[in-house]
A and B are shown apart, each in its own frame.
Chain A
């Protein structure tokens, strides 16, 4: 009896450990994002969207032109989604197209893969001619086909996942999908260029958060850095969120003797990482580069001296229309546009649709005719200065000429470095 009792206790302990370990492993799991190819729109793609020939929508006299907004209007992401929808709407304030008013149709996509297609369906039934959204990558991925089938062009202000513009289908990217945000890959490419050309350094050591963002950014950086003639030294080292012990990673950094250490992650872990990096005499002066997840005021207050000299990249900029957006937003929603994440991008997405409508809408005996094929073509040709910089699209619907700004910590502050 005694032996059995003792054994069962040990097994209980063992089961407890395995259970804890399983929770831990599940928490840090995640699937790899496929960066995908950079193939552009194809003729076959236009055909599936029904945009290989004219597809005319007629608006009766006195009716309004309906533009959809697919955003998270309830749930966890509401705080992000509602200001994005508001920002898109203010772009249409006072705008009429050939005497026809604009009507915004908002549908809640919940920022989920389930909510996206449902919202797309409701928007299509409401007879929209184009849409802003969806706002999240998962919802967007699930709605691409629904919009595409109806030939409805939609522009996401905020879906950043790499594979959205390189879906796994023979026809290539969906011709009806465009997006405004700067992608992880663009941020990483700008960082690689900055290290190679501005800092003139060759050997980089990569450290990354093991979540989707960190892995995607780190993988993109390695590709770009090698393409620019740089060399990745050592094995890229990953860490889970809330890690505080970076000593073993720093040992590997010391052994690899890099010119620069690149961290793809967030400030909460970058803070102890920098403190431990700077505490070691061998890595005290090593150049450090981080991304948008690291550039946060908390880094400055937490890491103090250890943050000095660090380089940080921040995607996105402000274009000449930002002031107009800001004042319209403040007037209508009593908020500060500076604090709205992806607000300028939403304003620009809506503006791109309105500008294209202005060009393609034709008045015929009191009615307004809009050819969805021409609308799609005009949006693709967008070229204007918006609230988030110049809006132009690449041949697969991604934003062209992504802006990434660089900062360095000097005297406990982020100092923006002049653009090259």
Chain B
């Protein structure tokens, strides 16, 4: 009997897990893009750098607490503190950027804040790369417990499980905040119509800051997960995940929270499983460097046939 696929079951499952882990990080960052777009129709290109600074704050915390020498229960304590520090640093960065670079341009032509965002992005990444690291990289302490769970051909490390699980939990918390709390209702109201929300007594500026802050905390959290998982961090680390997460947000339908999550996982899976699928075509054997070609080709296709993205909102719900 000839097997159905060229690649083995192990490869498929492995790539599935790889796609879900990368996708979790894309999704966490994409949420920040999509929420800010939802309320301001602004593409916050500095969001990748918010993610980067969160990752560095987490790194600094872990190193200050002992780095690679941490063991036992201290690892858990250090990780919690690292996540808190990363969330705090990202939140602070995002709020400061909003105050300095976006709010003064709130009523300027649409392109002005976009350029301002790109400027902040370049400034922050070069400040860290050239100002502090001299173009080098830092490496996260490898403290997460080793080991993996094997279920037949499926093999998942504890770190991968933690990454996927905690990302889902964070997204769940965000969804609850947006859907169930008063703050969330304010965010949704501002997204519907800034003027009408203001008339209903919503503090628009405060709500916008809260939106930036929520997205930033998720990005900071993603920064620590990224560092733990991929180990090397640098000033320019935010650029590519930032572009990918933005892509994920557009794929899912920018402005839509479930869309950002689905878009993130979809993009992560496309890069890994998508390549395997194409490699099943006889005569096709695409190496790793093709993954971006595949991902962006898919994006173009989605936008041609569904310009509003997978979860694109109806016109009536928009400002």
Contact = CB atoms under 8 A, between A and B. Distances in A.
Interface of A: 2-3, 6-7, 9-14, 16-18, 20-21, 24-25, 28, 210, 235-240, 242, 244-245, 247-249, 251-252, 254-255, 268-269, 271-272, 275-276, 279-282, 298, 301-306
B139 interface: yes
Contacts of A14: 250, 303, 307
Contacts of A269: 232
B18 A2 contact: no
Contacts of B219: none
B272 A21 contact: no
B291 A248 contact: yes
B136 A254 contact: no
A10 B226 CA distance: 29
B283 to A, nearest CB: 13
Contacts of A282: 155
Given A14-B303, A244-B237, A271-B232, A21 B296 contact: yes
A235 B68 contact: no
B254 interface: yes
Contact of A272 (B232, B300, B303, B315): B232
Given A3-B315, A235-B286, A280-B157, 12 more contacts: A10-B303, A14-B307, A210-B289, A238-B289, A244-B232, A244-B233, A245-B230, A247-B22, A254-B14, A275-B139, A276-B230, A279-B146
Interface stretch (B77-85, B210-218, B239-247): B239-247
Contacts of B110: 12
Contact of A255 (B10, B289, B318): B10
B280 interface: no
A253 B272 CA distance: 14
A13 B254 CA distance: 9
A268 B232 contact: yes
Interface string B152-164: 0001010100000
A281 B148 contact: yes
Contact of A21 (B41, B136, B292): B292
8 contacts: A10-B303, A13-B43, A14-B303, A20-B243, A25-B292, A235-B286, A251-B18, A252-B11
Contacts of A306: 142
Interface in B121-136: 136
A236 B287 contact: yes
Nearest to A298: B136
B287 A238 contact: yes
A279 B232 contact: no
A239 B137 CA distance: 17
Interface string B283-319: 0011111011000100110010001100000010010
A242 B234 contact: yes
B195 to A, nearest CB: 14
B288 A239 contact: yes
Interface of B: 7-8, 10-11, 14-15, 18, 21-22, 41, 43, 68, 110, 114, 136-137, 139, 142, 146, 148, 155, 157, 159, 226, 230-234, 236-237, 240, 243, 246-247, 250, 254, 271-272, 275, 285-289, 291-292, 296, 299-300, 303, 307-308, 315, 318
A247 B22 CA distance: 9
Nearest to A3: B315
Q: Which of B14, B68, B250 counts the most A-chain CB atoms under 10 A from its CB?
A: B14
B141 to A, nearest CB: 9
Nearest to B234: A242
Contacts of A17: 243, 246-247, 250, 296, 299
Contacts of B308: 10
A242 B237 contact: yes
B271 A248 contact: yes
Contact of B230 (A254, A272, A298): A272
Nearest to A249: B288
B21 A247 contact: yes
B289 A271 contact: no
A242 B18 contact: no
Given A10-B307, A17-B246, A24 B292 contact: yes
B144 to A, nearest CB: 9
B41 A9 contact: yes
B287 A237 contact: yes
B250 A302 contact: no
Nearest to A11: B307
B139 A271 contact: yes
Nearest to A302: B139
A24 B230 contact: no
A279 to B, nearest CB: 7
Given A17-B299, A242-B236, A248 B231 contact: no
A282 B231 CA distance: 19
Complex A-B, nearest 8 residue pairs according to Cβ-Cβ distance, in ascending order: A244-B230, A238-B289, A237-B288, A302-B139, A251-B14, A272-B232, A247-B18, A272-B231
B8 A255 contact: yes
Given A21-B292, A272-B230, A248 B136 contact: no
B315 A2 contact: yes
Nearest to A10: B307
Contacts of B292: 21, 24-25
A142 to B, nearest CB: 29
B249 to A, nearest CB: 9
